[in-house]
C-alpha cells in the first residue's frame, strides 16, 4: 500500500468500526466528530459519514471544508479540493441521498472502468464503516484533497483559500430544514395541527350554515364566548413556547451537523 494515499490507509484501518446498540456510544465514532471540530455532539446518532471522511483527512494533515458547521454535511465536499473528471483511488466521492442538502460521502478504493463501477469505503453505512460498490455515474462528483497544513479550508477548482472570510449564507426555506432535520419536523407538525383546527372550524361553520350540526356549533360558540380571554391567552402562550422550543431544536440541529444552511444549491 506504498502508493495508497495516507487518508485512504487511515480509512481502511477503521474498517468494521460500528455503532454500539443501546445508549452507549462508540468512542472511535465520537472521536470522528471531535476531529472535525464538533466536540458538542454527545451521541453517534448524528449522521457521521462526513465525520469519518473528515477525520481521516484531518489526521493526515489535510484541511477540512469551511465553515466548521458545514463539514458534517456530505455535500460540503462538492466544493472541496480539486475536481476530477473521473474517479481514482483515494479520491472523495459524493452521492445524493434524498433531496438537497442531504447526501453521502466516502473514499474510492479502486476503479473498474470496464464495468463502470467504483469500490469504496464509507462510514455510517448500516451503522458501520464498510466497503461498497457504486456505478461511476451515480456520484454527484469526485474530488481530490488539497494540499494543506491541517487548517480548515474550502477549495473551489484548483484555488486553495485557507482561513478565508466566508460570506453570510443565504436564507433557506423551512422545507429545506425539515428535509434533513429530525427535530425541525416538530414545527411542521405544529403547523399541520393548526391547519387541522382551522379546517374543522371552517367545516363546522359551513355545516351550520346549511342547517346541520347547529346545536353542536351553538354549544361551541357559547363555550368560546364564555372563555374567550382564557382561550386566547392559553393559545398565545402555547404558541410562543412551541416556537421557542422548535427554534432551539433547529439551532441544535445546525450545531450537531444534522442541518447546515447552504447559501447555494449543490445539486
Furthest-apart CA atoms within the chain: distance in Å? 85
Mean pLDDT of 182-209: 68
Mean pLDDT of 101-117: 94
Q: Are residues 127 and 191 in the same domain?
A: no
Strand pairing category for 92-96 and 82-83: unpaired
172 Cβ contact partners less than 8 Å away, ≥ 6 residues apart: 261, 262
Q: What local confidence, expressed as pLDDT, does residue 104 receive?
A: 94
Separate counts of helices (H) and strands (E) for the chain: 7, 8
Burial class (CB in 10 A: 0-12, 13-18, 19+), 170: exposed
Q: Give the CATH number of the domain where residue 77 resides.
A: 2.30.30.30
Range of the domain at 192: 176-255
Burial class (CB in 10 A: 0-12, 13-18, 19+), 241: exposed
Q: What local confidence, expressed as pLDDT, does residue 167 receive?
A: 31
Last residue of a domain, one of 166, 199, 218: 166
Q: How far is CA 149 from CA 67, 163, 177, in A?
A: 16, 11, 33
pLDDT tens digits along 217-228: 667 667 777 777
What is the count of structural domains for the chain?
2
Tell me if 161 sits within 8 A of 154, measured CB to CB.
yes
Q: What local confidence, expressed as pLDDT, does residue 258 receive?
A: 47
Q: What local confidence, expressed as pLDDT, does residue 217 receive?
A: 61
C-alpha cell at 266: 449543490
Q: Are residues 202 and 73 in the same domain?
A: no
* Domain assignment present for 1: no
Tell me how far apart the alpha carbons of residues 87 and 141 are, in angstroms, rounded to a whole number: 9
Tell me how far apart the alpha carbons of residues 61 and 121 are, in angstroms, rounded to a whole number: 20
Mean pLDDT score of the chain: 76
* Domain assignment present for 247: yes
In which element (H, E) is residue 77 found? none
94 in helix, strand or coil? strand
Residue 53: how many CB atoms within 10 A of its CB? 32
Q: Are residues 180 and 147 in the same domain?
A: no
pLDDT tens digits along 132-179: 999 999 999 999 998 765 444 433 333 333 332 333 333 334 444 444
Q: Are residues 49 and 136 in the same domain?
A: yes
- 37-41, 153-157, 191-195, 263-267: lowest mean pLDDT where? 263-267
Q: What local confidence, expressed as pLDDT, does residue 262 receive?
A: 38
Q: Are residues 115 and 200 in the same domain?
A: no
* Domain assignment present for 262: no
Tell me how far apart the alpha carbons of residues 161 and 78 are, in angstroms, rounded to a whole number: 15
Amino acid at each position: 500500500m506504498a502508493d495508497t494515499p495516507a487518508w485512504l490507509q487511515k480509512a481502511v484501518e477503521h474498517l468494521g468500526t460500528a455503532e454500539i446498540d443501546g445508549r452507549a456510544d462508540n468512542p472511535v465514532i465520537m472521536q470522528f466528530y471531535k476531529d472535525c471540530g464538533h466536540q458538542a455532539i454527545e451521541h453517534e446518532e448524528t449522521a457521521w459519514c462526513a465525520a469519518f471522511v473528515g477525520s481521516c483527512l484531518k489526521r493526515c494533515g489535510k484541511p477540512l471544508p469551511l465553515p466548521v458547521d458545514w463539514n458534517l454535511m456530505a455535500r460540503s465536499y462538492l466544493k472541496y479540493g480539486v475536481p476530477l473528471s473521473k474517479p481514482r483511488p483515494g479520491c472523495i466521492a459524493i452521492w445524493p441521498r434524498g433531496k438537497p442538502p442531504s447526501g453521502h460521502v466516502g473514499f474510492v478504493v479502486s476503479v473498474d472502468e470496464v464495468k463502470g463501477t467504483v469500490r469504496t469505503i464509507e462510514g455510517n453505512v448500516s451503522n458501520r464503516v464498510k466497503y461498497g460498490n457504486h456505478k461511476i455515474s451515480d456520484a454527484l462528483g469526485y474530488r481530490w484533497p488539497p494540499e494543506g497544513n491541517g487548517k480548515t479550508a474550502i477549495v473551489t477548482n484548483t484555488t486553495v483559500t485557507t482561513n478565508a472570510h466566508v460570506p453570510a449564507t443565504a436564507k433557506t426555506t423551512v422545507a429545506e430544514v425539515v428535509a434533513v432535520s429530525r427535530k425541525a419536523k416538530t414545527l411542521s407538525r405544529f403547523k399541520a395541527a393548526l391547519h387541522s383546527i382551522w379546517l374543522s372550524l371552517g367545516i363546522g361553520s359551513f355545516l351550520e350554515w346549511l342547517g346541520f350540526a347547529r346545536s353542536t356549533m351553538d354549544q361551541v360558540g357559547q363555550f368560546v364566548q364564555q372563555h374567550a380571554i382564557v382561550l386566547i391567552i392559553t393559545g398565545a402562550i402555547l404558541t410562543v413556547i412551541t416556537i421557542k422550543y422548535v427554534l432551539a431544536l433547529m439551532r441544535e440541529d445546525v450545531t450537531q451537523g444534522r442541518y447546515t444552511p447552504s447559501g447555494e444549491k449543490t445539486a
